[in-house]
Structures are given as structure tokens and as C-alpha cells.
Amino acid sequence: MRSNDRRVAITGIGAITPIGIGVEGLWSGLLERKSAVGPIRRFDAEPFKSRIAAEIDDFVPSDFIEQRRVRRLDRFSQLSISATRLALEDAAVQPPREDPDRIGVMMGTALGGIAFAEAQHQAYVKDGLRGVDPALALMVFPGASSCNIAIEFGFTGPNSTNGMSCASGTIAIGEAFRSIRRGDADLMIAGGAEAPLAPLTFGAFAIIRAMSTRNDDPETASRPFDADRDGFVMAEGAVTLVLESFERAVARGARIYAEVCGFGLTNDAHHMTAPRPDGRQAARAIQLSLDEARVSPPEVGYINAHGSSTPLNDPTETDAFKQVFGTHAQHLPVSGTKGYYGHALGASGAIEAAICALASDRSWLPPTVNLRAADPRCDLAFLPAAGLDAGPEYLLTNSFGFGGINATLVLRRAE
């Protein structure tokens, strides 16, 4: 078998999200069909028109990382390492028993350690350089995610963190998938992490009016594809997956959640914030992922949409689906799960890939929380509020990001 024909299995999921921590926490949160969005408590949001977010309240870094090391890491890196520990435990992978050269890390983030940088700037304004943490430069750069994971677990294989906005987590998984197919590694840690809840960062998105201002009813603020949506809701979170060659997974008796079998990546080359109106490049990313997976459009049985709950993205994504799936788009089950946990920027794609893997493994497709009446331009087969008991063979998930990035993954039900 040629190396580029290697099959790639998902054998571990590590999740730290506003709706739950760990595999069972994430799954239970989905089954509850409730939003985790609420008033911001992390900082004073009174100056902003949007004052809501999806925060993680029950994350204790020392539950996953030695306390002495916790103090040397910002929240972004804490989330990265902690999600990875959960994923390795879930996959029953013990790093000391593995060949570190054959294990790599691919992560994605939109903003890296920017919240820590904000806090350090305040310290600088107050006390000058004496007030700045000497490790500032090491904490804020996006690559701290994959590098700190490698250091924590001793993985010396391929390593990278991409910063491609809200498509970052999906791109990381796609690149990790291809690393295994090429034979560059046998096992990859892949996903996304984001800790963006800080005043300046939050305010930057508020200034461009990208976020919901439904402050009086935060639980219904994130409502993908709904006619009454008014913007996305910022969130924090991290998910990492353990990907490994299918042959290796079977040989060691691993539980396989699903198989990654296709990845597509394009750019609109149109605008930094607005998607290309015709959706052509988003559609091409979807088609490229199907081509790599050798799957025809009618074979896809579920889509987890990017569904950002923004006025421009949702109808454009709908048009992209119609371009690829034709009449099948009218019957193809679709959900946008950001209504549950908001938009964790670069981590969102990893969260949604994990949801697809769990949906495939457990034969239940989650609904679009808060979808009351679909925008007439978004005329897709959205799942009912109860979700759907089904185990389709092929599932697809989309992520789109500022700068015109379009990324798509195709997953296959485990055999």
C-alpha cells in the first residue's frame, strides 16, 4: 500500500468546552440541548454593546498539569496541554511507551496567547519593564500551543501551529491527517485552542459589529441560520484529537471513533471579513475534500456546518452546499452546533470535528440549538430540536475564517 493511501483513524478525543470537559462531558452537554452562553464574568464588559460570551467555569489547570508548570503557562497553553492529556488518556496512549519521533503535533489558533499579552501590557503601563513577566514572549506566540504539548509529552515528530483564524483547528486536523497518510508520522495530536476573553480582543470584534448584542437573553444569542440572528458569540475552548494510522489502531485494539478520509482548503481572495458572495471557493473546499475521500455528494449523510450565526456567513454557506450537493442538499441533515457553545474561533473546527466523530460513533446527530425560524435564504434540512438518531457512513464539517479561509473535513463511520 502506498504511503499516501494510509487510512487515518480518530482514536482519542480531549475536550475542554463551555458545555463540558472530557468526552462524556462534551457528549452530555450536546444531549442537554442547552446553550452555555451567559453574561461575561471574566472582565468588565460594560463599555461594549455585546456583553455575553461562552466561558468555561469548571476548568482547573492543576487537574491536568503539575502546579509548578501551570504557573509558567498562560490559559491558552494550559488549555492545549490539558485537552491533549485527556485525548491521550481516552486513546489509551502512554507516551513513555511510544517512539517519540513518530508522534507529531498540529494545532490551530486564531489569537494564541493574546489575553496574556493584554494583561502584561497593563502591567507594563503601571510598572514598566519591571512589571512584565520575563516569559512573555514565550507565552504569547501561537506556536506555544504545539510546542508546549511536545515538551509536556516528549513528542519529537512534525510540529506546527497554524494561525488561520476560525478555520485553524480544521486545518490542523487536515494537515495531521495528511502527515500520517504520507508516512511522516504514525500518530498525531491535532486540534485547536483559544482563550480570547480579554477586553481589548473582545472589543476589537465588537468594534466591527460582528458579535451578537442579545445581552438580555444570552442563551438564545447564538442562533445559526435563524432569521433573527445578529452575530456570533465569542467563546473559549480547546479540543485535541488523537489521529493514527488505521493499521496501527487496529493492531493495538484501539477504539476507533471515526476515520478522517478527506480535507479541502481554499481561499476566497475577496475580503478580510466578508465571505465571497457567490460561495464558489467555499464550495470548492467542500468538493476537494470529497474528491480526496473518493466520496460522491449523495453519499454524505450529515453536515456539521460552520454556522457562525452571522448575517453574511450563513446564507453563503447554504449556497455553497447547494452548489456541491444539488437537490441532495434539500434532504441532507444539517446542524450548526455553535448555538451550544458559541464561537471559539480557532478551536471551533476541532470542537466540531470531535462532535462529528462522536455523532458517528454513537449514532445521534445534534440539532441546531436556538433555530426557531430559518432565514428564507437558508433553506436546508436542519435537524429538529430533538436531534436525529442516525449513523451515516460519511459526515462533513466546515470551517470558514477571516481572510477568506475555507476548510472542510470528511469523516467516515468506523468499520
The residues annotated with a catalytic role in the active site are 166, 306, 343
Cell numbers of 59, please? 476548568
Q: Which are the contacts of 263, defined by CB distance < 8 A and separation ≥ 6? A: 173, 174, 175, 177, 178, 288, 289, 292, 407, 408, 409, 410
**Residue 47 identity:** P
Residues 102, 107, 109, CA angle at the centre, nearest 5°? 170
What is the Cβ-side half-sphere exposure of residue 98, based on CA atoms within 13 angstroms?
A: 23
- Three cell numbers at 56? 468555561
CA-wise closest residue to 404 among 293, 267, 311: 267
Helix, coil or strand: residue 186: coil
Strand extents, DSSP E, 210-366: 237-245, 258-267, 300-304, 333-335, 364-365
Q: How many CB atoms lie within 10 A of CB 247?
A: 13
C-alpha cell at 33: 440541548
Check residue 389 and report its DSSP letter. E
Distance (Å, whole) CA 103 – CA 158: 7
Residues 6+ apart with CB under 8 A from 53: 37, 38, 40, 42, 45, 197, 202, 233, 234, 235, 236, 342
Are 238 and 16 spatial neighbours (Cβ–Cβ below 8 Å)? yes
Provide the 10 A C-beta neighbour count for residue 254.
Answer: 19
Q: Which three cell numbers stand for residue 234?
A: 465569542
CA atoms of 158 and 58, how far apart (whole Å): 32
Q: What does each C-alpha distance from 79 to 14, 109, 190, 271, 372 come to in angstroms? A: 10, 12, 13, 31, 33
- Nearest Cα to Cα of residue 307 among 375, 368, 244: 368
Q: How far is it, in rounded angstroms, from Cα 190 to Cα 167?
A: 13
Helix (H, G, I), strand (E, B) or coil at 412: strand
